[in-house]
Structure formats: C-alpha cells, structure tokens
Amino acid sequence: MARLSIWLAPFSPDYSGAASVFFDLNAVSAMHDASGCTGNYTGFDEPRWYGSSSAIYCSGLREIDLIMGDDEKLISKMLMAGADLKPDIFALIGSPAPMVAGCDLNGIARELEARSGVVSLGIDTTGTEYYDRGVFLAVRALLERFAEDGPTRAGTVNIVGVNPMDFGQTENLADLKSLLRENGIETVSTLSMDYSLGALRNAPKAQINLAVSRAGFLIARYMEERYGQPWLAGLPIGRKCADSYVGLLRQVMEDGKSRVIKGNAASAGGTRWLIVGEQVQSNGIRNALCAEYGETDVTAGAIFGLEGGLAAPGDVDLPDERAIKGAINSSRYDAVIADPFLYPLLEDEGKRFFHHTQYAVSSKLGSAYEVDFIGDRFNEWYERSLLNGNVSPKFLERTI
C-alpha cells in the first residue's frame, strides 16, 4: 500500500515515451494493447496529438489473442495499414498485457519486416516504467537500424532526450537551438522531437551530444559507447548560466570529456528550496538559483527515479505520493518548485509554491503553467512568480 496514490494520477509510462519518438517520422506505430494504453498516450501524454496526422494505432488485443498467441492478427493489420500509408518504419510498442504473457515483439517485428520489406522495430516497453525509459529504448532501436557512421563535423551537436513529456509545448527547444546558433554551433539532430529520418542518420557525425533530460542522459551514454561521442548533460537555464553553458560545451568539444551540470550540493544559508521533477531540469534550475540569485540551499527531488549520475549530494528520491507529500511539507524546505498538480498536497499555506509544469505529471491540466526557461526567460518567470506568490491552480476550480 506504500505506493497507493490518493490524489496523483499515474505519471506518463514507458510506452508513451516510445510512441512519442516515432511521432515525427513516417512510421506506422501500433501499441499492442486492448485500447486503454493507446488512449492514455493520445489523450493524456501527447500534447501534439490532436490535429496531427501521426499514424499511431491500437492493435485491438483481446484475451483470446493473448492466450492463443495469435500474432498473425497483428501482422495482418500492420500490413494493411502499410499498404495504405507507405511508411518507412513499422513500430510495435509493448504494454502490460503482452509483457505478462511473454509476447516476443522483436520476433513479430522480424516476421513483419520479412513480409513487408519495411524496417520493423519491436519496443519492449511494459507500462511498469516511466516515459524516459521508453524514449531511450525507441531512440536506441532507431539508431541501431538507421544511424550512419562518418567523419565528425567540428562545431556540431545533437540535442538528445527532448520529448513532449518533459518539454510540453514550450519554446525551450527553439530557444536552445537559437542560443547554439548565435554562438556558431550547428544542430545536427534533435532526438526525438522536431526531427527527421535524415537527421537521425547523421546523428553519429555530430561532435558532441547535449543531454537535456534523463532520457537524454541514457541516450548520450549509449552513443558515447557506440560512436565515441562525448556529451554534456544540462540545460542553459538563467541569464548567466546560458553563457557558462556555452563555455562548458566548448570545453567538451576541446577535451572530449563528458560532463554533467548538477549545480552545487545544498549548503546552509538563505531560502531552503526543493525542486520536484525531472532531474536535468531540476539541476538547471538549481544552477540558475545559485548563479542568478545567490541561493545556496537547493535540493532536487526526483519523482521518476533518482539517476545517480545526475544527482548532487543531498538530492532525494521521491518514488510515490507519500514521499512527495512528505517532502513538500517538510520543515526542511521554505519554498517548492513543482508541477501544479502537486499543489493540493501542500498543507502549509505559508510555504511558497512556484508552479512549473511537467506534462508527464499534469498533462493538459497544467498546460497554463508551462515555463519557458532557456536563458533570461527563466529570470522573467522567477521574478514574476515571486510577485504572484502562492496561487491555487485554475484546474482545481473544476475538480473540487
């Protein structure tokens, strides 16, 4: 019962992360499920879905299909969809039911590819892990099949790990690209939003990778091992930090040593901050609070699993609602930065709470509180938040 949630809805799962990777490609993707998981992705986890033409379908899995292992039904449906849509890729994405039954999605994908002539990928997501793991699995599968080795181009980067569950519909990706361009740095690919198959093919030719999320951290480590590309894990959040970020990026280009921007470990003094959310974003916000406003006591609370390589000393793992509620109400912290969907868990009305939406937590409910944070946009948001004080999220008016 320790993992029981009274208020929080489930965070975006791995199959949604995997599906988001294929969204921009000419792919026919099928979630192998009875329709619930597909509905979760299209209805709640994918802000780009409505009005799009992305071909993401449900396999219509039924109990008898699962028991009898009727893979032909799925293959036939994919072949019919492929005949109409002429995709470059077929993607079969797992869900809890085929996981429990031991369904061999990679084997089905090989059969589908043999019969269709179209590159077919089985992504063994299970619905039991978070979206970042699904993003990593899907990007890795694509790189293994499509990436082309070649000479490295100096002064170029891949932005890896960008996904809608971390970045929503903000301007952060465009702002990051603009910052790089202004400093003479070319972006080869953005894995896995706003990209093409051609960009994916050229990804190994970039000089370094910029990991902008935990998913990006996993992808960057894989690409370093496979292609020898060093990486920088972090985000240029805050006016001063944008300049230092470019400097660190150039250091990685010069010495080939991978780095993580964590910010300093919490030390006594000033306001005691807790940032709840995705680790790379939390690290960037901590860095900005320290550099821009002289804050020194800033702790990151990871709600999707604490990645040791991204954590500073004192950072905390918040694996469930009980832990999250305990942390944001702890007397250890004076102020909290978190998704607005966590606001109802706050019991002390005197504690400052700054809304910072993560789509994986609040979906469309939190869209009004999405934050553009690259460079001085963070300073604008922070100073505006200080003036506004604690504000109850508007969606609570519709749920109470």
Asked if residue 17 lies in contact with residue 138, where contact means CB atoms within 8 angstroms, the answer is: yes
d(CA 354, CA 356): 6
- The pLDDT score that the predictor gives to residue 50 is 87
Domain boundary among 260, 293, 311: 260
Q: Is there a single domain that holds both residue 160 and residue 254? A: yes
Is the residue at 5 inside a domain?
no
* pLDDT tens digits along 236-286: 999 999 999 999 999 999 999 999 999 877 787 789 999 999 999 999 999
Axis crossing angle, helix 131-146 with helix 14-22, rounded to the nearest 10: 40
* pLDDT tens digits along 77-129: 999 999 999 999 999 999 998 888 888 999 999 999 999 999 999 999 999 99
Q: Is there a single domain that holds both residue 43 and residue 110? A: yes
d(CA 362, CA 304): 14
Q: Best-predicted range by mean pLDDT among 102-111, 228-237, 376-385?
A: 228-237
- The pLDDT score that the predictor gives to residue 245 is 96
**Which of the four pLDDT bands, split at 50, 70 and 90, describes residue 386?**
confident
- The pLDDT score that the predictor gives to residue 2 is 67
| Position 356, amino acid | H
d(CA 111, CA 2): 42
Q: How many CB atoms lie within 10 A of CB 324?
A: 20
Is the residue at 266 inside a domain?
no
* pLDDT tens digits along 277-302: 999 999 999 999 999 999 999 999 99
Is the residue at 9 inside a domain?
no
- Which CATH number covers residue 382? 3.40.50
H/E stretch holding 20 reads helix 14-22
Is the residue at 253 inside a domain?
yes
Q: Is there a single domain that holds both residue 28 and residue 127? A: yes
Is the residue at 203 inside a domain?
yes
288 token code pair:
């900005």
Domain boundary among 145, 177, 212: 145
171 token code pair:
């301007």
Query: Which residues span the domain enclosing 62?
Result: 14-145
396 token code pair:
């609570």
H/E stretch holding 326 reads helix 321-328
**Buried (b) or exposed (e) across 281-290, using 16+ Cβ within 10 A?**
bbbbbbbbbb
Is the residue at 120 inside a domain?
yes
- Which CATH number covers residue 66? 3.40.50.1980
- The pLDDT score that the predictor gives to residue 400 is 45
For the chain, the domain total comes to 3
Region 8-29: what's the mean pLDDT?
Answer: 97
Mean pLDDT of the chain: 93
Domain boundary among 75, 110, 145: 145
**Buried (b) or exposed (e) across 140-149, using 16+ Cβ within 10 A?**
bbbbeebbee
